A = this chain, B = another copy of it.
Amino acid sequence: MYCGTVNDLENQTTPFLMIDLPSFESNLSKMSDALPGTSLRPHVKAFKSTAVAQRLYAAGHTAFCCATIKEMEGMVSVGLSDDLLLANEVLDTNRLGALAKEGASITVAVDSKETINAAVAGGVSNVLIDVNVGLKRCGCDVSEAGNLAKYAKNVGLNIRGVMGYEGHLMMVQDRATQAEMVKDSMMLLLKAHENVGGPIVSAGGTGTFDLNSWATEIQAGSYLFMDTEYAKLGLPFAECLSVMSRVISTAPDRSWAVVDAGLKALGMDHGNPSVQDGIVGFCSDEHTTLYPNKGQPQVIWKVGDLVSLSPAHVDPTIAKHQNMFAYEGNTLVEKWPIDLRGW
C-alpha cells in the first residue's frame, strides 16, 4: 500500500508512529530464519494491524495468535484465518463461534470447566489447555491439565495441545539464568502435555524466542519493533519504532524543550520514553518535557524541530495510534492502519 499523500517527514502531522522499514524487515527476516513457518505463531496483540499480519503471512507464518476477540474478527475479515488462536480465556464465545461458522479455523485457550463450557456454548470446537508455568495469571495447575482435557473431550471438544506462557521470564537479563528458568517452566508444560496430548506445545515470546526449545511454536510479536525495555536483553532485533514529535516550546534559557507527544501517545506502564541527545523529564497528556544531557546547559532543539521518542513498551504504544508510517530514510513508503484496536 503506497501512500502518496504525505511523502516526507517534515510535513507529517505530529505525533505519529514512524517505522524504519529496513530495520523492520531485518527483524522480520531474522526471526523467520530462526523460527520458520508455523514454528512461529506471531502475536497479533503486538501490532494490531492486518497490514503487518499480511507481511508475516507472506513470509510463511500462516498461524497467528490474538489477545482479543476483536483481533480475531479483524484477521478473519482479511482472510488470515488458516489457524487463529485466541491465547486468552474468554466466557463470551458467541463472536468466536460465528467466525468458526464462517469457515475460519478458530482455537481458544481454556483453563477451567467454565471456559470449556463457554467454548461449547459459543460453538468453538478447538481448544488448547492453558497451563500455569509460573506467571501468576491464567492457566490451570499442571496436575489438573489432564482432567480438564478429559472433561473437554467428553463435551465434544478437539484438544490441540497445551499452552503455557513464561511471561514472568521475558525480562530476566542474565541469559544463562533466563535459560535455566525457561527450562524449568517448560518442564512443567511438558508434564502437563503428557496428560493432555495433541500436536501443539505453544509458549514463549520475544524475550525467550531462542531459549525455548521445548515449545513446538513460539508466540512472539514485539520483536518486529522492539522498545527500550526489550533492548536491554541484547536480542538480535533493532528498535525500529519511534513516536515522532515536534518541539512547540522552549524555556527562555533553553534549559528545557517541550514536544507535542505525551502520555496519550505513549505506552506508559514501563515508564517514560527515551530520547537521544537529552533526558526525558516528564510526560503530560499531550506534552513531553525534555532536559539537556548532563553537563549541557541547554537543549539542542529549537521550536519546530522533529524529535524522535523511543517508547518503553511498544505494544500499548501502538494501540494508541491509528496508523504506523513506514519510512525508508525520510521517504514514506507505506501506511499501515492499526485496524484491530478495541474489544
Interface of A toward B, CB cutoff 8 Å: 13-16, 45, 67-68, 88-92, 111-112, 114-115, 132, 136-141, 144, 167, 246, 248-252, 256, 258, 260, 263-265, 267-269, 281-287, 289, 303-304, 315-316, 319-322, 342-343
Contact = CB atoms under 8 A, between A and B. Distances in A.
Contacts of A315: 264, 285
A199 to B, nearest CB: 24
A285 B249 contact: no
A264 B91 contact: no
Q: How many monomers of this chain does the complex have?
A: 2
Contact of A248 (B91, B144, B286): B91
A8 to B, nearest CB: 14
Which has the most chain B C-beta neighbours within 10 Å: A45, A249, A286?
A: A249
A137 B343 contact: no
Contacts of A89: 248-249, 258, 260
Contacts of A167: 284
Contact of A322 (B256, B316, B342): B342
A13 B91 CA distance: 10
A14 B343 contact: yes
A303 B258 contact: no
Contacts of A137: 249, 258, 284, 287, 289
B285 A138 contact: no
A246 B13 contact: no
B343 A68 contact: no
Contacts of A140: 252
A167 to B, nearest CB: 7
Contacts of A246: 91-92
Contacts of A111: 249
A90 to B, nearest CB: 6
A316 B248 contact: no
Which has the most chain B C-beta neighbours within 10 Å: A89, A115, A137, A256?
A: A137
B269 A343 contact: no
A286 B139 contact: no
A136 B252 contact: no
A141 B320 CA distance: 33
Nearest to A302: B114
Given A136-B281, A319-B264, A252 B303 contact: no
B144 A90 contact: no
Contacts of A342: 321-322
Which has the most chain B C-beta neighbours within 10 Å: A45, A246, A269, A321?
A: A269
Contacts of A287: 88, 137-138
A286 B342 CA distance: 11
A103 B224 CA distance: 46
A249 B289 contact: no
A3 to B, nearest CB: 17
A136 B16 CA distance: 24
Which has the most chain B C-beta neighbours within 10 Å: A16, A68, A286?
A: A286
A92 B137 CA distance: 45
